[in-house]
Amino acid sequence: MKISTLSLGDEVIYGEIVDTNVAHIASRLYESGFLLRRHLCVGDNEPDIMDAIELLASHNDFVIATGGLGPTVDDLTARSAARATGRRLVLNEEALAHLRERYRLMGREMLPSTEKQALLPTKISLIPNPIGTACGFIIPHKGCFLFFLPGVPVEMKRMLDETVIPFILSRTKQKTCIETRVMRVLGLSETHVENRIKELARPREGLTIAYCVSFPEVEVKLRCEGDNEARTKELLDTTAEKVREQLGDHVVAEGGETIDTVVAALFREKRVTLSLAESCTGGLIAAKITDLPGSSAYFLEGAVTYSNETKTRRLQVPAELLEKEGAVSSATAMAMARGIRKASGSDIALAVTGIAGPEGGSEEKPVGTVFLALAGRSDCTAKRYQFSGDRERIRRMTAFTALDWLRRHLISLPDDEER
């Protein structure tokens, strides 16, 4: 089964955006038991798009193309696909009806030029787009199925899952069954993760392990392929269990879960309320917590206290303490956590203070020095971390570490001493 992808668009070719679509498609194909063979990318011009379609159609069973389905003049995909496959371009009534309905739902007026999005090749099947204006389409051509999807990631992902992958699965008689499992690991480097579990792979029995860094997490992907479904599942299950044993509580989430959703579920389950006091992360942790619907059930309050004066006024951190220990210190972190907990009346409070850089570091407290503190009704603990990288990396690492503290506290695990 040969499957390739094609990205269309000047923004990719000009280096204006990093194309994340191919990684997502490759990853979803992999989970469905297919390997992506090639990925090709060309800009918004008809001869190049036509060449690319010709080239890929003649070497593959399926081609998944993304981009260039929008309403503007540089969206040339439909026209080029029609020419490359010897089709005419017609106003597709079904696509037009969809377009009108989307505009009606958005309460916006549809400009005549928008109709261009419904100008599609003849002899195609539409790919419904439940969340955007541009429909996708499937062209069967020279024994290959060409899928055309919008480049907008959120729309592309839905259409890939709802139409493209089921279509490919229905057209392929897979002799083998394939099961996959994904685990997200925090606090260990990729090499450390690999060293702990690589021996568990059984390539000859169809079980492989892949690693992928999504900073600061490492994603571990187990994949098992075999003729017998029950045996395949069992091998995957027992291996997953061994991976959990080896990686311990560094496994922060499995399957479709993330550390955010795991922490959210724990807060609801344990009926614990939270408040936050952030200095160097400046609201990032609160933003992550409130990114999930329903967070108002446990998240009472967040304070972003950048200045010393605000720390004192808002969180009752004593001015003498700030003077003596410094704003970036274990004592200040604890005072911040206690202060916000008392003010908000939450069950627990988490505070963070640190130096995200690039300025503000010293020999004693270099850039990347971060203190976290967690206060409960009667106890408070703090810990110093030394993170590395640029401002964004340090802030991101701090936010993930904070979420992991909450996770560990909620499941009553000891703090991670190995990090």
- Footprint of a second copy on 118-177 (CB under 8 A): 131, 152, 154
For position 260 contacting a second copy by CB under 8 A, the verdict is: no
From the list 256, 253, 249, 292, the residue with the least C-alpha distance to 274 is 292
Residue of 58, 122, 174, 191 that binds a second copy (CB under 8 A): 191
CA distance 305 to 255: 36
Stretch that binds a second copy, among 159-167, 204-212, 226-234, 376-384 (CB under 8 A): 204-212
Q: How far is the CB of 42 from a second copy (least distance, A)?
A: 5
Q: DSSP 3-state assignment of 393?
A: helix
Beta carbons within 8 Å of 337's beta carbon, 6+ residues apart: 277, 349, 350, 351, 373, 374, 375, 380, 382
What minimum distance in Å lies between the beta carbon of 286 and a second copy? 3
Alpha-carbon span 149 to 136, nearest angstrom: 5
Q: Nearest approach, Cβ of 370 to a second copy (angstroms)?
A: 14
The amino acid occupying position 333 is A
Write down the least CB distance from residue 125 to a second copy, Å: 26
Contact track, a second copy, 287-316, x by CB under 8 A: x-xxx-xxxx--xxxxxxxxx-xx--xx--
State yes or no: residue 214 binds a second copy (CB under 8 A).
yes
Among 205, 189, 213, smallest CA distance to 239 is for: 205
Does residue 23 belong to the site contacting a second copy (CB under 8 A)?
yes
Q: Is omega for the bond preceding 166 within 30 degrees of 0, making it cis? A: no
The 3-state DSSP class for residue 370 equals strand
The three-class DSSP label of residue 120 is strand
Nearer to a second copy, 160 or 374 (CB): 160
Q: According to the binding rule CB under 8 A, does residue 41 interact with a second copy?
A: yes
Q: Which helix (H) or strand (E) holds 84?
A: helix 77-84
Q: Which is nearer to a second copy, 213 or 411 (CB)?
A: 213
What is the closest distance, in whole angstroms, from the C-beta atom of residue 188 to a second copy in the complex? 12
Closest approach of a second copy to the CB of residue 115, in Å = 11
Binding to a second copy, residues 68-107 (CB under 8 A): 70-74, 105-107
Nearer to a second copy, 169 or 287 (CB): 287
Q: 216: cis peptide before it, omega within 30°?
A: yes
With CA atoms as reference, report the closest residue to 185 among 214, 209, 223. Answer: 214
Residue closer to a second copy (CB basis): 11 or 237:
11
Residues 6+ apart with CB under 8 A from 129: 98, 135, 136, 150, 155, 158, 159
By CB under 8 A, the residues from 224 to 253 that bind a second copy are none
From the list 146, 276, 349, 397, which residue makes contact with a second copy (rule: CB under 8 A)?
276
Q: Which is nearer to a second copy, 105 or 230 (CB)?
A: 105
Write down the least CB distance from residue 143 to a second copy, Å: 19
Q: Which is nearer to a second copy, 12 or 165 (CB)?
A: 12
Q: How far is CA 204 from the centre of its chain?
A: 31
Q: Does 319 help bind a second copy (rule: CB under 8 A)?
A: no
Among residues 25, 159, 224, 397, which is the contact residue for a second copy, using CB under 8 A? Answer: 25
In the complex with a second copy, the residue whose CB is nearer, 48 or 61, is 48
Kindly state the number of chain residues that form the binding site for a second copy, as judged by CB under 8 A. 105
Binders in 355-414 for a second copy, by CB under 8 A: 356-359, 386, 388, 390-392, 395
CA nearest to 351, candidates 413, 295, 297, 280:
280
As a whole number of angstroms, the distance between CA 300 and CA 305 comes to: 16
